[in-house]
Amino acid sequence: MERVIKLSQAWIATFAFGLLLTGCGGSSDPTYSGLNSIDRQKAAVLSWSAPRSRVNGEGIRMAELDKYIIRYGTNSDALDKEIIIADAQRDAYMVYVVRGLDAGVWYFTILVQDTGGLLSAPSEMVSKEIEF
C-alpha cells in the first residue's frame, strides 16, 4: 500500500510548463551582457515560465517551487550535463544562458522540484545547433 501512495505523490508532482529556446540576441540584448561575439555563438538562451499547476490540475504557488534542473547534452537519449538553478521562487519568468557549448546539436529539457522534494517530468525537449 505504501508504494501506491508514493507513486500517487510522484504523479501529482508532475508539473505542466513549457520551455523555449531562443537564438542569439543582438548586442543590445541584456541576456548576453558581458559576452563577446564568440561566446554568443557558443551559447543557448533558455526561457520558461513557472508552472501554475500540476498535471492533475491542482494549482501550485510560487512559494512551493524549490529549484529548476536543466539537463542537456549532444545525445537526445542521454542528456549527460546538468545545471541546477536554486531559488525557483524568484521569478515567474526565467531566462538562463548556457555558455561554452561546442559545435554540434545540443538538446535541452528542464524539470522543476517543489519544496517537498517532488520532481516533475521533463519538459518537452528543444534543440539548438551551434556552428562556429
pLDDT tens, position by position, 100-111:
999 999 999 999
Stretch 55-71: mean pLDDT: 90
Q: Using an 8 Å Cβ cutoff, are 110 and 6 in contact?
A: no
The arrangement of secondary structure in 13-130, i.e. its CATH architecture, is: Sandwich (2.60)
Q: Fill in the DSSP letter of residue 122.
A: P
101 neighbors 44 (Cβ within 8 angstroms) = yes
pLDDT higher than threshold 80 for residue 10: no
DSSP state of 40: H
| Cα–Cα–Cα angle for 27, 40, 24, rounded to 5 degrees | 65
Which of 10-24, 86-100, 110-124 shows the lowest mean pLDDT across its residues? 10-24
Q: How far apart are CA 114 and CA 7, in angstroms?
A: 16
- Mean local confidence (pLDDT), 65-73: 95
- pTM confidence score: 0.75
Q: Can you give the residue ranges of every domain in the chain?
A: 13-130
pLDDT, mean of residues 23-45? 63
In this prediction, residue 125 carries a pLDDT of: 93
Q: Which of these, 96, 102, 92, lies nearest to 84 by C-alpha position?
A: 96
